[in-house]
Structures are given as C-alpha cells and as structure tokens.
Amino acid sequence: MATANPIPDDSSTAEHTTADLGVFVAAMAPDQFKEVLANLEAAFSIERIVVATPNDLPADVTTRLKIVATPQSSSLWTLKPSDFIAAAQSGLEQGARAILILGPGAESLRPSALRSLAEATFASSIDLVVPNYSIPPHAGLFNSAILYPLTRAVFASRVRFPLPIDLCLSSRMAERLADAAQRIPASSPGESLLWPVNEAVAGGFTVDEVDVGARAIPQPSDQDTNSVLISIMGSLFADIEAKAALWQRPRRAQPTRRTEQEVEISDGTADVTRMVAAFRLAADNLQEIWSLVLPPNSLLMLKRCSVLNSAEFRMPDNLWARIVFDFVIAYRLRTINRGHLLGALIPLYLAWAAGHINTIASGTPAERHIEAVAAAFEADKSYLVARWRWPDRFNS
Amino acid sequence: MKKIASAADPLWYKDAIIYELHVRAFADSNNDGIGDFPGLLTKVDYLKDLGVTCIWLLPFFPSPLRDDGYDISNYTDVNPSYGTLDDFKAFLDAAHQSGMQVMIELVVNHTSDQHPWFKAARLAAPGSPERDRYVWSDTDDKYKGARVIFTDTEKSNWTWDDTAKAYYWHRFFSHQPDLNYDNPLVREEVLNAMRFWLDMGVDALRIDAIPYLCERDGTSCENLPETHAMVKRLRAAIDADYGNRLILAEANQWPADVRPYFGDGDECHMAFHFPLMPRIYMALRQEDRQPIIDIMAQTPPIPDNCQWGLFLRNHDELTLEMVTDDERDYMYFAYSADPRMRINVGIRRRLAPLVDNNRRRIELLNSLLLSFPGTPILYYGDEIGMGDNIYLGDRNGVRTPMQWTSDRNAGFSKCDPARLYFPVVMDPIYGYQAVNVEAQLSDQSSLLHWTRNMIALRKLFRVFGRGTLTFLNATNRKILAYLRELDQGDGFCETVLCVANLSRFAQPVSLDLANYAGYQPVEMLGYVPFPPIGREPYALTLAPYTFFWLELQAAIPEEESASELSTQIPRSAAGSTPAVSRPDTEV
C-alpha cells in the first residue's frame, strides 16, 4: 500500500509552480467534504495542495489547504465532463504537476489511498492513475459484466474500474481530458460521460492502477436504474464507435494486473429469482428486438438458458461476450432506436448477474469469475472486429 | 465575411472519399423535372451514411447549358433551375454540419459566348481591355500546334465571329470562347470569382481544363510555363487568405506532364490520374496487370502535401486520349462494340455496363480504386450499379437521374415523366424498377451495402490515402499484388498487402514476402488470421475476380497471460469499511 516517503520537493521548480498537487473535489454534503479535507491534510502533510471544489467550506472548519471555488457540477454520483474541465483549468492556473480528482463519496478513502494515487504520478510519471476499489462480491456488477470486460477487450486496458470516481492525472493528461470533455456536445445527454482510460489509450498515455481499499460507492438519485445503466452503456458504446480506427490495431494490454484486495464477504440481498424472471419475461417480449441484433446461435443459447431454474441459472461467458459485442455493433449500425436497443440489453445483463451470483454462491471467488468473463471477451475480440468491418447479418 | 475552413486537417483530402454528382441529376424538390439544391439537401444524410467525406458538384452556375453547365455565363450565382445562392449556402452548411467538405468547379479556361464579358468583347474595339478578355486573331493560322479536343463536333479551334469581324479561340465547343490570361483583367476576375466561393466556405475547387489556360505560337498550347504561373497565382491567393482548402487539377495528360501541376507543393494540391483509369479496364479485359504496372512506373513522385485523384468513371466519356493508338483500338473493341457508345476520343458508358454488370468485376475494380495510392472519387449512381442510355446525345447517357426508388421517375421527381430533364434509365437490367437505392438499402447483400462497408473499412486505415506503394511482381501476371505501407510516427506502422485476381478463373500466386518473415497476415474484411509469413514464397489462391486486403501484423511479444488470475482471494477482512449500497442496484 502507500509508503511513507514524501513526494519529492523539487525546489528547483518552486519558483515556477504554485502547487505540488491540484485536487478537485466533486460536489458532496458538507460533512463529507469536511472529512475529505481532513484526509487530504493527513495524506499530504508537507506538500502544497490547492483544492478546487464547488463545495462551500463549512463554517466550523479551518484548514491549511488553499480552497478555490469552481462551478457546481450537475451530477452527485459520478464525474461529469465539466468536472474534468474544472479540474484541468484549476490545475493549470495553479501550475500543479499533478491533479487528483475525488468524486462523490471520496470521504471514505483513507489518507493512505489518496497518497498512493498521487505518488504513482509523481514517482513514476504515470499520466493516469486509477484506483482499484475493494468492493463486496455482489457490488459493482454492471462494471464487472460490461464496462470492465468490454474496455479490456476493446482498448487492451486491464483497469478494473474504467469509469473511476477518483483518479490522478498528469497535467498533460488533464489537458487531454479537458479537450475531450469540451468536444462532448451538450445536446447529447445520453452520451455525456468521459472515459479517461479510453482517452489515455487513444492518446498513447501511460496508465496505472493502485489498490485503494474499500470506498463508498455513491448511487444515482434517479430511481430509474435502467435509464442510468442505459446512459452509461450508450456513452461507452459511442466512445467505442468514435475510436474505431484505434482499437482495431493490435496492442499490448496495460497495466499489469495487481493482486486482489481483501474483500468482505457479504450475504447480499441479491434476488436471483427476480432477475431470472425478468430475463424470462424479456425472452418472450423482446424476442423481435433480440433477433434483429443477435445471430441464431446466440438466440438458441438464450432459449436454452430461459428454461433453467433460478438456482442453476448460468449464462456461458462466451455467450455473454458475443451478446455485448453484437449490441455494440447494433448500436453503431442504428439497427433500431438506440434507447430501445440498450433497454433490450438490460434483461440480458440481469441474466448474467443472476448467473454470476449463482457462481459465487457455488464457491467460485467473484474476481475469478469476472476475470474469466473478461478473458472470454478478449478471446473473442476478433468476432467484434470482423462484424464491425463487415456487418453482414448472414452469420451463425 | 469570410468563413473559416470546415476541415481541421490541412491534408484532409488525403483521407477523403469524394463523390461526384450533378445537382441537376440528384433530386428534384419542386417537381419541375430538374434536380435542385433543396432536393440535394434532402440527400445529405444518404451521402453521409455512404461514407462520403467530400461532395464534388458539377457546374451549377448560370449557363445556356449547351455543355451541361461548363459554358458559364455568370461565375458568381446559381442557375435558377437549381435554386438560389441561399439554397446553395443551406446545402453547404448542411454538408459541413455532417462532416463533409464541398468541392465546386472553377471553369476558367473559357466562358459561354452568352457571358456578358464575351458579349462586350465582340463589340469592343480591337486591342481594348474588354476585347482582350478573349483570344482574337485576324486569321486562323495561329497556334497550329494545338490539337482539337472535341473532334466529333469541332473542326478547328478557331471560329469566325461576324460581329467582331475576327476569329476567336476555343479549345472546346465553339460556343465556349477561351479567356485570355495574358490580360491582367482576366486574371483578376478569375481570382475574384474564386474568392467569392471560398469566402462562402467552399472547401475545394476543381480547375477545369487547366492545361489549356494559356497559348503560345509554335507550341501545343498545353502545359505552358505561363499556365503554371497562373496556377501558382491562384494557389498563392488561396494560401494567403484561406486555410485548409484544395485545388484539384483536371489535366488529362501523361503523368510526367501532370506532375508540374503540383509544382513544389505550390500549385495544385491534387490532380486526376487520367492515364491510370483506362489501363485498369485494359488490365481487366486482358487479364494482365502490365498496363497498370507500366503506367504506375511512369508516374513520378509528387510532393508530400499533394495527392492523386483516382476514379473509375466520371461525367465525361471514358477518355482514351492518353493511350497509344493500338490501345485505343483495343479499348473500343473491348468496351464499345456499338459505335454509339463512342464519343470524341472515348467511351460514354457507366461502370456497370462497361463490365457487363458483373458484380465481381465491379467489386474488383472498386477494390483497386479504394486501395491504390490516391484519393478515390466515386461517380454518383455507381454505388448502386446504375446503367446508362447511349441513345442520349453527347455524354448525357451517363448523366441520367439518380435512381432512388422504384416509384415514378425513380423517386427523383414527382413531375410528369415527359418533363424530366433526361429520361430515367428503364431497361430490364439497369432500369430504376430493379436498380435503386431503396431496394438496395433493404438488401444486405447489395452493391450499395458492399460499397458502404468497403468505404468504412478504407477509412479505418490511413495507409490507403497516405502510404507508399510497392508492387510485388509475381510470376503470374493475372495477379496484381502490391504493398501499402505507412509509418504513423507514433510507434505504429500500417502495412497492407493487396492482392487482386484480374482473371475470370481461379488463380494461384506465390509472393516473395521474406522481408516480412514472422508477420501474420490478417484478412481485413473479416479479420481472419492467415498463416504466418516465412522465408519461403507465400502461396495464395484467389477465386475469379477476387481480392485480398491483408494487414501484416507484427507479432506482439508474449507477456503474462491475460487469463492468469491471482490465487486465493482472501475471504475475510475484519474492520474494513463496508459498501453502503444495495448489491443488486449498484452499477
């Protein structure tokens, strides 16, 4: 984990920089912000830190940290493109050599975690440092099912959380992300997330991952989980479409995977029966849409899955990989309305999640299964490339 | 007010896919039987979906239309039949918003005899600036070295004008008097016309008939130093005031004679490679790559910021000016059995009829177009395999209305069919009922889908527009094999091996790829890995008229396997902070 070595104080550049580290703290409740400030002070006792944030400094708080106000962010559960712009601007103004971005819920990150994020940038000149969170086995399923394996296969990135809530950037990486954020049209609310890892790969920047332990994962206030998931998927699929010429080049995966974090066993309250029921209902009602997107073999395998009982329910890893790839293709081809398309993927995701929970319950460690799924995505990348280049639906 | 360039990359034309169309032929919005800009506006999405990045418009200026708009009577307006200047601007904006550039014609070798300049010149005193806007002579003896281009209709490059009581010079039709570039007034007017459109935001200008701008006695009146001097002036004016624009030279000349039109990167950005085009057809018919190899061997290197424009067909006849007499005769025998198919020194047929509507041949020729070094230019309608009408006069047989649907008038117009500017093609093979965009959009196996996929594939790889070309001269001359390579400068090198079977029968070939030993060819359309390359000749077999695009991928050094997992994930962590959210709703 984090070392005790201080971040090198490069006095030769002291007259040129105002801050060693720029920190952007996203909007959060006052008590959470207070705890973040305390953790930052503990993590960076001798460094010059400037904190840019839309949060007001609570009246009862005194801090040695310099606080700079930024415009309010529009989201309280994830980082928005405007956050990256604000972070880069602030970092540039302060002459910071690195910029640490802390998203909602960051008060749960220990000082050692904050330090390890920043140190990788300083010590190794890594452009983008992303955290590997310790989360319970039933947590972050959407990331495990789609975001991680898809990003790993497409962009050859082994970052476990490709849509991080916290990250540390070099100044040039921050500029790159700010430029990318400014190019996102305001008229595309469904595609308004930034994918830092994808941008780093596209720009040839170095990426590394550090273990930060457990973290509170903020949840969207929007009770319609489906629309949130659709929004995230749409954003990622659009990013994949935009970077098609890049990810079809062969490349070596980075970074090297680290050892897994200790995780707490959670009994969980996952309702597998409800997930499987949702899948079976969709198998009846969404067959027409699925048949526009999926080839016959996949439809046949889904039909076989639909007759499994809840306790035995599993979705084969390679089937899931093909399903996600075919939906990415259909998204690109605009086979049907994109909103309807992504909505039709949700029951399939629930089916995968049910199978994953059953797999864990049978004794397989969660991370082991997730890595197997990611490996299945990697192994079948040629299918994605081939169908991307020749989207002929007369396939198996 | 000047509009800035719509293209961000100064070399945007190297990666472009250019689509040539005539406003008149594309879509009619007001049902007068003539295509117009509002109609074209409704088809911008179609072009964007096809993958087009630059739309080339044939002349749309005011004109008596005796040469399909190349006889211009006003350089700074729009023919009312096609709409207004505002309609053009609306189209231009729509194209830019869809990420496409727009190229228009700069027909400045000549004007219509109905242009106010010529009308004034005829009446002006000899020697006056107004008179000298054109090239006059008391006799028709000057410039004897200049050939007649429109041999079917013109017997001389001079025509007597009774009003002016003098001969005037014209390299094309007699109703198209040549402008006199020795007159500073003319040079300034041409620059003004150019600026008018560039200020509006037009991205590119095709300079029609560029070799013939200037004339001198005792010469062929083609490619003169004075002509190049004028081109340099045009280019300098563009570079001084406009960013990321393009001038494209229409110079139907031997490659060595076209080369000077690039200058030292200070004349035209692009030029058509005319001589290559008939040789592609020759190679196909003869099942022998040699005509292509020969002409490419004669093609000199061009400046790094310049580009060849490649095409299979266009609005003119398939020109046979830049071939030998024997080659011309062969092409007439091979591709125009009916004399009605011939005009001037060429063949007036579309792509599909030229190759007997054979789908494989069409695909093969398009594969060459999309993989040879240069920027491909597609002629409207060839993406659906449109046919032609050789019974229409001049070159009008290849300028029939675009075939959108099987409805009345091919969906081009709702007017009375008799009112169409030209009849739609309606024969049993190429007729609009069978060959149209709507039908092909719903047919996944159609030529339209194939063309769209191939364009998309080409756009994934910059090597096609920017890379080098090296022929692999295998023993089997029916196989055309070549390497395209591009060092991207970021650690990646794109290398593509293109192999085409010019024969109607299956062919074997062995290629010397020893320099790439250890590389793995990956077939690009289906992303299929082929056997790795060794020191021995690499054997391939190709079905009739097929082609391979094989990306040569260097082996990536092995590292830890991606499927290796860390072992023994600990199951307990007393005292660690629990996650706060419900497991089945977390993202």
The DSSP-derived string for A244-299 is HHHHTS----BSPPPPPPP---------HHHHHHHHHHHHHHSHHHHHHHS-HHHH
Contact A143 B461 (CB under 8 A): no
Q: H-type helices in B42-183, by residue range?
A: 44-50, 85-97, 116-123
**Residue B538 β-bridge partners:** B511
**What is the pLDDT, as a whole number, of residue A391?**
86
Q: Is A80 helix (H, G, I), strand (E, B) or coil?
A: coil
| Dist CA A37 CA A65 (whole Å) | 8
SS3 for B298?
A: coil
CB-closest option in B529, B557, B576 to A262: B576
A306 burial type by CB count under 10 A (0-12 exposed, 13-18 middle, 19+ buried): middle
A241, with CB counted inside 10 A (0-12, 13-18, 19+), is: middle
- Structure tokens of A250? 């062969």
Q: Would you call A204 an interface residue with chain B, using a CB distance cutoff of 8 Å? A: yes
Cβ–Cβ below 8 Å for A248 and B580: no
What fold does the segment set B468-553 form as a domain? Answer: Immunoglobulin-like (2.60.40)
ipTM, 2 decimals? 0.72
CB contact under 8 A, A219 and B492: no
Residue closest to B371 by CA, chosen among B520, B482, B473, B510 = B482
Give the model's pLDDT for residue A11.
42
CA distance A292 to A311: 30
Contact A184, A80 (CB under 8 A): no
The full DSSP string for B446-505 is SHHHHHHHHHHHHHH-THHHH-EEEEE--S-TTEEEEEEEEE-SSS-EEEEEEEEE-SSS
What residue in A sits closest to B574 (Cα-Cα)? A264
Q: CA nearest B455 in A: which residue?
A: A389
pLDDT at B580: 29
Asked if B456 lies within 8 A of A143 by C-beta distance, the reply is no
Q: Under an 8 Å CB criterion, which residues of B touch A? A: 444-445, 453, 456-457, 459-462, 490-492, 524-529, 553, 556-557, 559-560, 562-563, 565-566, 569-573, 576-587
- Which of A1, A39, A138 best tests the B interface by mutation, with the highest count of B CBs <10 A? A138
Residue of A nearest to B49 (CA): A333
Name residue A98's beta-bridge partners. A21, A170
Tokens 């959210």 belong to B581
- Sign of the Cα torsion B178, B183, B184, B185 reads negative
Q: Collect the ranges in chain A with pLDDT lower than 50.
A: 1-16, 190, 262
Q: Which two tokens stand for residue A77?
A: 């559960």
Q: Is A244 on the interface with B (CB under 8 A)?
A: yes
How far apart CA B492 and CA B552 sit, in angstroms, is: 12
Distance, CA of A299 to CA of A305 (rounded, Å): 10
Of B444, B527, B586, the CB nearest to A385: B527
Flag if A263 and B560 touch (Cβ within 8 Å): no
The pTM is what? Answer: 0.84
A372 contacts chain B (CB < 8 A) = yes
CB atoms under 10 Å from CB of B408, counted, come to 14
How far is the C-alpha of A232 from the C-alpha of A236, rounded, in Å?
6
Contacts of A204 in chain B (CB under 8 A): 490-491
- Return the axis-axis angle of helices A148-155 and A366-379, rounded to nearest 10°: 40
Number of Cβ within a 10 Å radius of residue A109? 28
Contacts of A393 in chain B (CB under 8 A): 444
- The encoded tokens of residue B407 equal 């409805």
Shortest alpha-carbon distance between residue B140 and chain A (Å) = 59
Domain boundaries, chain B: 12-111+183-459, 116-169, 468-553
Is the minimum CB–CB distance between A292 and chain B shorter than 8 Å?
Answer: no
Contact B22, B399 (CB under 8 A): yes
Chain A nearest-CA residue for B490: A204
Q: What number does CATH give the domain B12-111+183-459?
A: 3.20.20.80
Q: How far apart are CA A342 and CA A339, in angstroms?
A: 5
Rg of chain A taking only CA atoms, in angstroms? 22
Contacts of B587 in chain A (CB under 8 A): 140, 142-143, 219-220, 225, 228-229, 232
| Strand B307-311 versus strand B270-272 pairing type | parallel
For residue B307, give Cα distances in angstroms to A63, B201, B258. 62, 22, 12
User: How far is B539 from A251, CA to CA, in rounded Å?
Assistant: 28
pLDDT on residue B564: 38
Distance from CA of B483 to the nearest CA of A (A): 18
Q: Which of residues 55-114 of A touch B (CB under 8 A)?
A: 108
Chain B nearest-CA distance from A9, in A, is 33
Q: Which residue has the tokens 């070549």?
A: B482
Pairing assessment for the beta strands B528-529 and B538-542 based on DSSP bridges: unpaired
Question: Which residues have C-beta within 8 Å of that of residue B206, sequence separation ≥ 6?
Answer: B56, B103, B104, B105, B106, B247, B248, B250
Q: Is A187 on the interface with B (CB under 8 A)?
A: no
Q: Chain A residues with CB inside 8 Å of B579's CB?
A: 135-136, 139, 214, 216-217, 264, 266
Q: How many residues does chain A have?
A: 396
pLDDT value at residue A188: 57
Phi and psi for A313 in degrees, rounded to 5?
A: -65, 130
Cβ–Cβ gap B525/A390 under 8 Å: yes
pLDDT confidence of residue A257: 62
* Helix axes of A171-183 and A196-203: crossing angle, nearest 10 degrees: 110
Query: According to the model, what pLDDT value does residue A18 have?
Result: 65
Query: Taking CA atoms, what residue in B is nearest to A254?
Result: B562
Cβ–Cβ below 8 Å for B586 and A367: no
Residues in Cβ contact with A136 at an 8 Å cutoff, skipping those fewer than 6 apart: A263, A264, A265, A266, A268, B578, B579, B583
Q: How far is A286 from A340, CA to CA, in rounded Å?
A: 10
Nearest beta carbon to residue B576 from set A264, A271, A375: A264
Does B584 contact A269 at a Cβ distance shorter than 8 Å? yes
Contact A354/B at CB under 8 A: no
For residue B145 the two structure tokens come to 């070295």
Number of neighbours of residue A316 by Cβ within 10 angstroms: 15
pLDDT of residue B13: 97
Say how far residue B540 (Cα) sits from the centre of its chain. 32
Name all domains of chain A by residue range, CATH numbers in brackets. Answer: 15-247 (3.90.550.10), 272-389 (no CATH)
Whose CA is closest to B180, among B140, B221, B240?
B221
Residue B272, strand partner residues: B309
Q: Residue B87 in contact with residue B36, Cβ under 8 Å?
A: yes
Residues of B catalogued as catalytic: 208, 250
- A73-129 per-position pLDDT tens digit: 666 678 888 889 989 988 888 888 899 999 988 999 999 999 999 988 887 789 999
* Least Cα separation, residue A56 to chain B (angstroms): 25
Report whether B122 contacts B164 (CB < 8 A): yes
SS3 A345: helix
List, as ranges, residues 111-150 from A with C-beta within 8 Å of B.
Answer: 134-143
A252 at B interface, C-beta within 8 A: yes
Give the N- to C-terminal CA distance of chain A in Å, as an integer. Answer: 48
Q: Least CA distance to B461: which residue of chain A?
A: A245
Distance to chain B for A48, nearest Cα, Å: 29
In a mutational test of the A interface, the residue from B48, B445, B585 whose CB has the highest number of chain A CBs within 10 Å is: B585
Q: Which amino acid is at B521?
A: P
CB–CB contact A389 B562 (8 Å):
no
Nearest chain A residue to B495, by CA: A249
Q: Closest approach of chain B CAs to the CA of A256, in angstroms?
A: 8
Pairing of strands B101-106, B18-21: unpaired
Distance CA A50, CA A91 (A): 8
Spell out which residues of chain B touch residue A141, defining contact as CB-CB under 8 Å: 583-584, 586
Which residues of chain B lie closer than 8 angstroms to A370, CB-CB?
none
| Tokens linked to B79 | 């023919």
Minimum distance, in Å, between the CA of residue B427 and any CA atom of chain A: 30
Residue of B370, B564, B571, B586 to mutate, testing the A interface (most A Cβ within 10 Å of its Cβ): B586
CA distance A206 to B543: 45
CB contact under 8 A, A248 and B566: no
According to DSSP, the residues that pair with A69 across neighbouring strands are A53
Contact status of A310 with chain B (Cβ, < 8 Å) = no
**Within 10 A of B517 (CB to CB), how many other CB atoms are there?**
12
Q: How many residue contacts between A and B have a Cβ separation below 8 Å?
A: 143
What CATH code would you report for B116-169?
3.90.400.10
What are the chain B neighbours of A394 within 8 Å (beta carbons)?
A: 444-445
Q: What is the pLDDT along chain B (587 residues), one digit of tens a residue?
A: 778 888 989 999 999 999 999 999 999 999 999 999 999 999 999 999 999 999 999 999 999 999 989 999 999 999 999 999 999 999 999 999 999 999 999 999 999 999 999 999 999 999 999 999 999 999 999 999 999 988 888 999 999 999 999 999 999 999 999 999 999 999 999 999 999 999 999 999 999 999 999 999 999 999 999 999 999 999 999 999 999 999 999 998 899 999 999 999 999 999 999 999 999 999 999 999 999 999 999 999 999 999 999 999 999 888 888 888 888 888 888 888 788 888 878 899 999 999 999 999 999 999 999 999 999 999 999 999 999 999 998 889 999 999 999 999 999 999 999 999 999 999 999 999 999 999 999 999 999 999 999 999 999 999 999 999 999 999 999 999 999 999 988 778 999 999 999 999 999 999 999 999 999 999 999 999 999 999 999 999 999 999 999 999 987 665 544 443 333 222 333 333 333 233 333 33
> Does B525 sit within 8 Å of A389, measured CB to CB?
yes
Residues 6+ apart with CB under 8 A from B250: B206, B207, B208, B209, B210, B271, B272
- Say yes or no: A363 contacts chain B, CB-CB below 8 A: no
Q: Fill in the DSSP letter of residue A157.
A: B
pLDDT for A225:
82
Say what the pLDDT of residue B79 is. 97
If you count them, how many residues does chain B have? 587
CA–CA separation, B138 and B161 (whole Å) = 10
Instruction: Give the per-residue pLDDT at B587.
Output: 33
> Which residues, including other chains, have CB under 8 Å from residue B62's CB and lie 6 or more apart?
B72, B73, B74, B77, B78, B79, B80
Residue A337 neighbours by CB distance under 10 Å: 10
